[in-house]
Amino acid sequence: MILAALLFSIGLAGATMRRNMIVVLMSIELMLNSVNVTLIAVARALTDVSGHVFVFFSLSVAAAEVAVGLAIVVAVYRSFGSVNMDDVSAMHG
């Protein structure tokens, strides 16, 4: 679980400090993954399979989130010509 905490922190570092949207999405995946590690570890410690079911759900949500996120990245790239977050600060259409 210390491992999971470390991984979550690294993912957070990536999400807050990188400017490239794709890497930010990867960092979000990293954080989700660290939560999964925690769930599996707790399921093992408590000998309860429910944790595995929760990990299964969170995997599905992560997959959905990545699909939508990457679609947004592609859309943003088409209209702004960049995936750098600092270039994409305008909110007008």
Partner 1 sequence: MTALQLLFYGVAAAMVLTALAMVLSRNIVHAALLMVGHFLLTALLYVLLRAPFIAVVQVAVYAGAIMVLFLFVVMLVGNRPVELEELLTGRRAIGIASVVVLGGLLVYAVWDGAPAAVPGSAQAVAAESLPADFGSPGDLADLMFRDYLLPLEVVSALLLVAMLGAVVVGRQQLAGPANGPGAPDDAIGDDGPDRGALTDATGDTP
**Binding status of residue 91 toward partner 1 by CB under 8 A:** no
| Three-class HEC string of 23-85 | HHHHHHHHHHHHHHHHHHHHHHHHCCCHHHHHHHHHHHHHHHHHHHHHHHHHHHHHHHCCCEH
Longest CA–CA span in the chain (Å) reads 52
**Binding status of residue 16 toward partner 1 by CB under 8 A:** yes
**Binding status of residue 35 toward partner 1 by CB under 8 A:** no
**Binding status of residue 28 toward partner 1 by CB under 8 A:** no
- Interface contacts to partner 1, rule CB under 8 A: 1-14, 16-20, 22-23, 25-27, 29-30, 33, 36-37, 40-45, 47, 49-50, 52-53, 55-57, 59-68, 70-75, 77-81, 83, 86, 92-93
